[in-house]
Structure 1
Amino acid sequence: MTNWINTVSRDHVERGVQGGFTQANHGKPHMLARMARGDWIAFYSPRTVYPDGPPLQAFTAIGQITDDEPYQAEVSPDFTPWRRKVDFLDCVETPIRPLLERLDFIEDKSRWGFKFRFGVFRIDDHDLDVLRSAMLVPIGEATVDT
């Protein structure tokens, strides 16, 4: 099993969560083809809206790949992006700055944003555990608005 980060604006992540899918690199298949059923994927959103929304700098979703290979979806006649099916977990949006010192994939803490320029990249189990424990609300601690 491999763990991934996908760098995507929050508005695009929200569409993926609602539809149960992820895209990468503006709909190109090469990074999606490297993923396998059961792989974990966490989403980092540098901005709220693509391409020029306000900065966000937070992890916005996490889930597992549930299919065996990429598939194409027809969004419009001239846009048929490649996607993977994802089972998203209930989570809370989590700012990156409090996690910087604990994330090993960020080697230069003073230039932490550089790594996200790759779009999709692998992370190790330690970093996935840091993200999961920060993003997932323990059972019984969820609040309900009344």
Structure 2
Amino acid sequence: MTNWINTVSRDHVERGVRGRFTQANHGKPHMLRKMARGDWLIFYSPRTVYPDGPPLQAFTAIGQVADDEPYQVEMAEGFTPWRRNVDFLVCSEVPIRPLIEHLDFIEDKSRWGYKFRFGVFRIDDHDLEVIRSAMVAPLPKETTVKG
């Protein structure tokens, strides 16, 4: 299993969560073809709205790839982006700044935004857990009532 970050504005992430899909790199298939069913996918949103919305700099969604191959959809005449289906978790949006020091994929902490310029990239299990644990509430511990 591989873990991925997809850099997408929050408005586009919200559209994907509602439709249970992701696109990458403006609808191109290359990185989507590298993903496999069960891979984790975390969404980082530099802005609220593409292309010039206010800065956000937060992780905005998390889920797992739920299909075996990318597929195309027609959104408008001449625009047929590639997508993957995603099973999204219920989560909270989390600002990146408090997590920067704990993320190994950010090698130069003073230039932390550089990595996100690649759009989609791989992260290791440690970084997945740092982000996932910040976004997703832990399952409540089972309590036993003695009577």
Distance 1:88 1:131 in 2: 15
Show the 5 A alignment for 1:17-96. Answer: 17-96=17-96
Q: Are 2:95 and 1:106 aligned?
A: no
Q: Secondary structure at the match of 1:138?
A: coil
- Measure how far apart 1:138 and its partner are: 2.6
Residue identity (%):
81
Structure 2, unaligned runs of 5 or more:
141-147
Matched to 1:9, the amino acid is S
Query: What SS is found at the alignment partner of 1:4?
Result: strand
Unaligned runs of 5+ in 1: 141-146
1:75-125 CA deviation, whole Å, 9 max, x = no partner? 112111000000000000000000000000000000000000000000000
CA distance in structure 2 between the aligned counterparts of 1:50 and 1:76, rounded to whole angstroms: 18
**Aligned residue pair count:** 140
Cα distance in 1, alignment partners of residues 11 and 61 from structure 2: 11
Letter aligned with residue 53 of structure 2: G
Aligned equivalent of 2:97: 97
RMSD: 0.7
Structure 2 counterpart of 1:77, one-letter code? E
Aligned-partner residue type, residue 129 of structure 1? E
